[in-house]
Amino acid sequence: MNKTVADLAGRWLARKSENLSEVEHKVLQSAIDRKAVSRNVNESVERHEGTGDRLADAIARIGGSWSFILTFLAFLVAWTGLNAWMLGRESFDPYPFIFLNLILSMLAAVQAPIIMMSQNRQAERDRIDAAHDYAVNLKAEIEIMALHEKLDEIRFQEIILLRQQLRELAEQVGRIAPPAAGQSPAQ
């Protein structure tokens, strides 16, 4: 049987093919062609990443880790301790630590947009993952519906075959033992 996207759209999705999204159309076509829709999304995303994208992800990964936070906290304690107590009047950055504030401000000014870039890329990757998951789930539903149709068809054919065999058996029994007087052959 030669199936078309329009046939499957009407039968399995209860919609006209003109009302299908591009993903739904591709999934139905893949069901007709017996091709998989699943793929490794990470590979396709990584192929389109540039050096800046990978760098932003690395900085966000490091900047958002406990290792970084604890190391930076140790640096702040050491800075303030050295400049407040050990160095006394000859300190490099005396209280209120203006140079330290400048360093922290510059770090925040650079780190925040880089982390936001990484988060935007992660959100885009999540959208791609969600679209891919939808396509795979839709394909699975369509394949399950196709299996149900095949099982229903097999069951229907078996019922027809059983009825035919029962008729033939009844005819054979009727030839062997004719009905008793007063009974019709159907009883």
**Helix or strand or coil: residue 51?**
helix
User: Can you read off the two tokens belonging to residue 86?
Assistant: 């050990």
Domain boundaries, the chain: 1-35, 36-174
- Tokens 């396709």 belong to 44
Distances (CA, A) of 185 to 22, 43, 168, 169, 182: 61, 73, 14, 13, 10
Which pTM was predicted? 0.64
pLDDT tens, position by position, 25-62: 888 888 888 888 888 877 877 788 888 888 888 988 89
Q: Where are the alpha helices (DSSP H) in 39-97?
A: 41-47, 51-63, 66-81
What's the pLDDT score for residue 162?
A: 95
- Is omega for the bond preceding 96 within 30 degrees of 0, making it cis? yes
Q: Give Dmax over CA atoms of the chain in angstroms.
A: 131
Dihedral sign for Cα atoms in the order 136, 140, 143, 145:
negative
Instruction: Please check the confidence at residue 64 and state whether its pLDDT lies above 90.
Output: no
Work out the angle at residue 134's Cα, subtended by the Cα atoms of residues 129 and 137, and round it to the nearest 5 degrees.
120
**In the 3-class helix/strand/coil scheme, how is 81-118 assigned residue by residue?**
HHHHHHCHHHCCCCCCCHHHHHHHHHHHHHHHHHHHHH
pLDDT tens, position by position, 106-164: 999 998 999 899 999 899 989 989 999 999 999 999 889 889 999 999 999 999 999 99
Type of residue found at 97? F
